[in-house]
Structure 1
Amino acid sequence: MKNNQDMKGIYSALLVSFDENGKINEQGVREIIRHNIDKMKVDGLYVGGSTGENFMLSTEEKKEIFKIAKDEAKDEIKLIAQVGSINVYESVELAKFVTDLGYDAISAVTPFYYKFSFDEIKDYYNTIINSVDNRLIIYSIPFLTGVDMSVEQFGHTL
């Protein structure tokens, strides 16, 4: 497992640019990444979160954005990929994909919509993290997911 000490600093949530037909605008995404690196001087980017419209995208579109971000950022900054989904198989597929690309960490939103039990949520996170050699950040946003875990539950998750 990777050392967490190198993940310090300021991270920005990556916005995603779309064209007038709702398709990913690769050049626009690259410009946003360059702006974050060159002008904002961020230490890392959080790719695939709700700021980037992640939950409206297909698996292939998510992969496209992950590839663009890695290609543009290279190793200039750290990259965290949000791979969470209510479909754990998609989460595992994306976790493997970004780990193979060289992302520094993965993140996964708590599974939402269905009222998952705490044991099911634990299984979800363990399934994801056991599929890759990468560190995991739990993306908890109770206001949007309806999943509100206690500090004690976080401590027993992984």
Structure 2
Amino acid sequence: MTKYDVSRFRNVTVALNTPFTPSGDVDTEAAKRLTRYYIEKGIKSLYVCGSTGEGFLLDSRERMAIVDAVKEEAGDEMTVIVHVGCADTRHSAELAKHAVKAGADATSAVPCVYYHLGEESVYRHWTAITEAADLPFFIYNIPQLTSFHLSMELFNRMLANERVAGVKCSSEPCHDILRFKQAGGEDFIVFNGPDEQYLAGRLMGADAGIGGTYGAMPELYLKLEDLIQRGETQKAQLLQVKVTHFIYRLCSFPSMHGACKTIIRLDGVNIGNPRLPFLPVDEKDAAIIHLYQDIRNAVEEIKGW
């Protein structure tokens, strides 16, 4: 059982896009503006340098700079979870130590990238990260990208570590959320990962959600969570249909990273284009303009719900 108070993690958590300058460097000033943008939207938690944040396309110095900028702007107004996963354990642990220094609220990590590791390797990898930082740690389970399927045996083994506070469950079977929540218990946080099933994940026991498309339409996810908490499941289902339709449209562009960044730019915060190999999306593209307009229309529509 975790030793930490996990109440501050029960939020709609935006997986933050990493801003870049036109020359391709990380843009820390834009990161501060983007953080403020979400504070003003009502978002209370951010997940930094994860899949959406192009974390694996950044070197350690760049990742630390983004974390510093976000935390400097967020202060105590937001909960900041830092993804510290790297291909190797040493650099992951260094990023975890930096997260403490930066004042972050928690760390998180995928099992590994590229190499197909066994459970003992992943156990030692995650354990070393928790030993490097006295912070809540969130397992990041995303087998469709890592090819590592978190077994209940390893999950239960990790639960014995008092710094393990939860899991970001991005595996596609919704019942994984149910299994992890039942095993973890009330004081263990399960984040729904797949954005297109936010409602289903919450109904299956997820305490909150972390997602990459949240950043392009934060008001819709905040309303979705509000409807769930109020028990208005039918309205929540109608809104989930809208959200999922928007997700499909975001995924129709050359890259979802590029599409989300362009939506955010159209809404007033220029965070540049994604880093190659992710492709940009032209803000003059009629399809992205129409999508942005449809999202804003949906935001207006749900205000009275």
TM-score clears 0.5? yes
Q: Is the contact between residue 112 and residue 147 of structure 1 (CA under 8 Å) also seen in structure 2?
A: no
In the alignment, the residues of structure 2 paired with residue 117 and residue 87 of structure 1 have an alpha-carbon distance, to the nearest angstrom, of 14
Which position in structure 1 is the counterpart of 2:237? none
**Which of 7, 25, 36 matches 1:5?**
7
Is 1:17 matched up with 2:43?
no
In the alignment, the residues of structure 2 paired with residue 135 and residue 114 of structure 1 have an alpha-carbon distance, to the nearest angstrom, of 26
Partner SS for 1:71: helix
**1:150 to partner: Cα distance:** 2.1
Partner SS for 1:27: helix
In the alignment, the residues of structure 1 paired with residue 84 and residue 18 of structure 2 have an alpha-carbon distance, to the nearest angstrom, of 16
Which position in structure 1 is the counterpart of 2:116? 115
* Alpha-carbon RMSD: 1.2
Which position in structure 2 is the counterpart of 1:63? 64
Which position in structure 2 is the counterpart of 1:83? 84
Which position in structure 1 is the counterpart of 2:38? 36
Q: Letter of the aligned partner of 2:4 in structure 1?
A: K
Q: Letter of the aligned partner of 1:42 in structure 2?
A: I
| TM-score, normalised with respect to structure 2 | 0.50
Q: How many residues align?
A: 157
Which position in structure 1 is the counterpart of 2:282? none
**1:155 to partner: Cα distance:** 1.7
Q: Letter of the aligned partner of 2:47 in structure 1?
A: Y
CA offsets, 1:59-90, max 9 Å, x none?
Answer: 10000001001101011010000001121111
**1:132 to partner: Cα distance:** 1.6
In the alignment, the residues of structure 2 paired with residue 127 and residue 26 of structure 1 have an alpha-carbon distance, to the nearest angstrom, of 29
Q: Is the contact between residue 47 and residue 80 of structure 2 (CA under 8 Å) also seen in structure 1?
A: yes
Q: Letter of the aligned partner of 1:105 in structure 2?
A: A
Partner SS for 2:70: helix
Larger displacement relative to structure 2 (92-101 or 147-156): 147-156
**1:53 to partner: Cα distance:** 0.9
**1:5 to partner: Cα distance:** 2.3
Which structure has the highest helix share of the two? 2
In the alignment, the residues of structure 2 paired with residue 26 and residue 85 of structure 1 have an alpha-carbon distance, to the nearest angstrom, of 21
Structure 2 residue runs of 5 or longer lacking an equivalent are: 162-305
Which position in structure 1 is the counterpart of 2:222? none
**1:111 to partner: Cα distance:** 1.1
**1:112 to partner: Cα distance:** 2.4
Partner SS for 1:134: coil
Partner SS for 2:80: strand
**1:36 to partner: Cα distance:** 0.9
Is 1:103 matched up with 2:104?
yes
Q: Letter of the aligned partner of 2:11 in structure 1?
A: G
Larger displacement relative to structure 2 (73-82 or 1-10): 1-10
In the alignment, the residues of structure 1 paired with residue 81 and residue 112 of structure 2 have an alpha-carbon distance, to the nearest angstrom, of 18
The structure having more radius of gyration, on CA atoms, is 2
